[in-house]
Amino acid sequence: MTKILIIGLTAGPAGLMERQAGNMAIFISTLKILKDVIPDVQISTSLQLSEDFCNRYGLVSLKHRSFYEPNFRSGLISLLDYMRSGLWYFFKKKIKLDVKFLIKGVRLKELIRSDMIIDFSGDMYGDNGHPLHLLKHSLDMLTARLLEKPVFMFAQSPGPFTKKLRLFFAKYVLNKVSLITTREPWSYEILKRSGINKALIIKTACPAFLLPSSSKEKIEKILKEESIKVNFPLVGINICGWNFIHDRYKEHREDKELMPLVVVIKYLLEKLKINVLLIPHVFRTDKSGKLIHGPDTKIIEQLYRILDNDRSRYGDRLKILKGIYESSEIKGIIGRCNLFISGRIHAGVAALSQNIPTILLAYAYKHYGFARLVGQERYVSNNFGGKINAQDVISKIEDVWNNKEKISLEIKNKMPRVRQLVLLNATITKEIIDLIKRGEKSIPSETINSWLERGDQEGVGSYFDETIKRIDEIPELY
């Protein structure tokens, strides 16, 4: 039996994971590729997931609050565990004495019994992470290393690190982990440029690209219930708080903040005569843990009100996806669009993975990296600093709409390579575990070279430099 423990900065109170369709797209696909490659794997996680989800996907969600609560008490426990593990490691290595009483306790027991620790933090390990949670999580990873457990930062976009203290801390921690795979090429560049040079970093791709869509029959039923017509050109749009200047988590925006999108949607409806479907990708949970509408829905309802409150102007040509759906269902709905405009990166991945021409509204560097994987960086609109440029988006819509068949084929031709890069994450996991079971203490150079070769992607350096020069806001992030 192979035991893997998944931890991460996405850990938090129950419901935090499952209300994020993007997080679930990554996590479900990660579970699938790990189980396909390691059939005997037993997976536990500090991520707080519902009993129904755990039963469906065959894992255990640990309910030890000190594992996932980002507060002072849990941070202190992590610090004490780190110190005790450090003493244990010192006695074992320097004095050849195994002082086991130092490493007792529920949390340390979970780390010790695991063959590998996988970090599932997405883009939270950097400026996006809350300082206390970032410190606590880093201590947990360092503790695992002191306990001589491999720590694999799995398919992530670490950084950027704009604060000097965070960068200093990140250099120390990331150079201590066993391995980092980046889910898109820009993250690799950022880590190298940040001085994370001792870490073993492999370029891969995000598991969300492999999320299966719900069945055709299920999607047809949803579309019928939502009264969404698909026998007419359809553009899907997702928008979120991260696309605006003020308070990314705020659910109600000032009307003036939405006006650039109003201009874009009017162009689609009136100039191109295309139907528009507004699609939420993040929800919330009530006190009972049930999913309810969240920030995406609030913003698109406000946008709808500005555009067509009385339904007399556009009627059924402008629609909101009203139901609350799982990530596979939302992916299937997005799959019925002819063009997708996405403020959230993983709503965009749901489209790109189905060969749908997609315009990404980039509030972070990762959008350029994801687009690079499928050769679509020319259709990323700079949204850094919370400024949506309506004319830039419209010019990209014109280009895409006139070349949508060609663009769809371009994406399709890239997808086999993206699939290989996704699966490389699972292959590396298995190969590390095989080395451990053979009693190896280090990764052979030929194995590392094999990973580097399999993860080699088309160079991003020249495009990276050119884009930094072109976008004023980016240099401040590095």
Q: Are residues 265 and 173 in the same domain?
A: no
Is the pLDDT at 311 greater than 90? The verdict is: no
Per residue in 247-272, pLDDT tens? 776 777 888 999 999 999 999 999 99
**DSSP classification of residue 50:** -
Is the pLDDT at 237 greater than 60? The verdict is: yes
- Average pLDDT of 164-175? 91
Q: Would you place residue 312 in the very low, low, confident or very high pLDDT band (cuts 50, 70, 90)?
A: confident
Q: Are residues 120 and 182 in the same domain?
A: yes
* Nearest Cα residue to 137 out of 12, 2, 3, 4: 12
Q: Are residues 355 and 292 in the same domain?
A: yes
Report the pLDDT value the prediction gives residue 287, as an integer from 0 to 100.
75
In this structure, is residue 476 part of a structural domain? no
Instruction: Report the relative pairing of strands 179-182 and 201-203 from DSSP bridges.
Output: parallel
Q: Are residues 223 and 250 in the same domain?
A: yes
Per residue in 65-119, pLDDT tens? 888 787 888 889 999 999 999 999 999 999 999 999 999 988 999 999 999 999 9
In this structure, is residue 80 part of a structural domain? yes
Q: Are residues 195 and 342 in the same domain?
A: no
Better-scored residue on pLDDT, 400 or 453? 400
Report the pLDDT value the prediction gives residue 474, as an integer from 0 to 100.
30
Q: Would you place residue 469 in the very low, low, confident or very high pLDDT band (cuts 50, 70, 90)?
A: very low
Report the pLDDT value the prediction gives residue 473, as an integer from 0 to 100.
33
- Single residue among 375, 394, 414 that ends a domain in this structure: 414
Domain count for the chain: 2
Q: Is residue 10 within 8 Å of 156, Cβ to Cβ?
A: no
- Single residue among 374, 398, 414 that ends a domain in this structure: 414
In this structure, is residue 475 part of a structural domain? no
* Nearest Cα residue to 155 out of 341, 330, 31: 31
Q: Are residues 408 and 442 in the same domain?
A: no
The residue to which tokens 């019925």 are assigned: 336
Q: What's the CA gap between 431 and 194, in Å, rounded?
A: 28
DSSP calls for 4-32: EEEE-TT--STTTTTTBHHHHHHHHHHHH
- Single residue among 397, 414, 431 that ends a domain in this structure: 414
Q: What are the start-end ranges of the E strands in 159-213? A: 179-182, 201-203
Q: Are residues 20 and 36 in the same domain?
A: yes
Q: Are residues 197 and 232 in the same domain?
A: no
Helix (H, G, I), strand (E, B) or coil at 442: coil
Q: Is residue 414 within 8 Å of 375, Cβ to Cβ?
A: yes
pTM across the whole model: 0.92
Q: What's the CA gap between 381 and 404, in Å, rounded?
A: 17
Phi, psi of 211 (to 5 degrees): -60, 125
Q: Is residue 302 within 8 Å of 255, Cβ to Cβ?
A: yes
What is the percent of the chain with per-residue pLDDT over 90, rounded to a whole number?
66
Per residue in 188-204, pLDDT tens? 888 988 888 777 899 99
Q: Are residues 268 and 380 in the same domain?
A: yes
* Domain enclosing residue 313, as ranges: 215-414
Tokens representing 46 are 């500090």
Is the pLDDT at 438 greater than 70? The verdict is: yes
Report the pLDDT value the prediction gives residue 35, as an integer from 0 to 100.
97
Write the single-letter amino acid at 99. Answer: V
Write the single-letter amino acid at 397. Answer: I
Q: Would you place residue 13 in the very low, low, confident or very high pLDDT band (cuts 50, 70, 90)?
A: low
Is the pLDDT at 461 greater than 70? The verdict is: no
Provide the terminal-to-terminal Cα distance of the chain, rounded to the nearest Å. Answer: 42
The domain that holds 178 is classified in CATH as 3.40.50.2000
Q: Would you place residue 387 in the very low, low, confident or very high pLDDT band (cuts 50, 70, 90)?
A: confident
* Nearest Cα residue to 152 out of 174, 134, 133, 167: 174
Q: What is the 3-state secondary structure (H, E, C) of 344-407?
A: CHHHHHHHHCCCCCEEEEECCCHHHHHHHHCCCHHHEEECHHHCCCHHHHHHHHHHHHHCHHHH
Q: Is residue 381 within 8 Å of 422, Cβ to Cβ?
A: no
Q: Are residues 356 and 445 in the same domain?
A: no
In this structure, is residue 449 part of a structural domain? yes
**Residue 416 parent element (H or E):** helix 404-437
In this structure, is residue 478 part of a structural domain? no
**Residue 183 parent element (H or E):** none
Q: Are residues 247 and 363 in the same domain?
A: yes
**DSSP classification of residue 267:** I
Q: Are residues 242 and 327 in the same domain?
A: yes
Is the pLDDT at 235 greater than 80? The verdict is: yes
Determine which of 27-36, 252-261, 303-312, 331-340 has the lowest per-residue pLDDT on average.
Answer: 303-312
Report the pLDDT value the prediction gives residue 274, as an integer from 0 to 100.
95
In this structure, is residue 477 part of a structural domain? no
In this structure, is residue 98 part of a structural domain? yes
Helix (H, G, I), strand (E, B) or coil at 322: coil
In this structure, is residue 351 part of a structural domain? yes
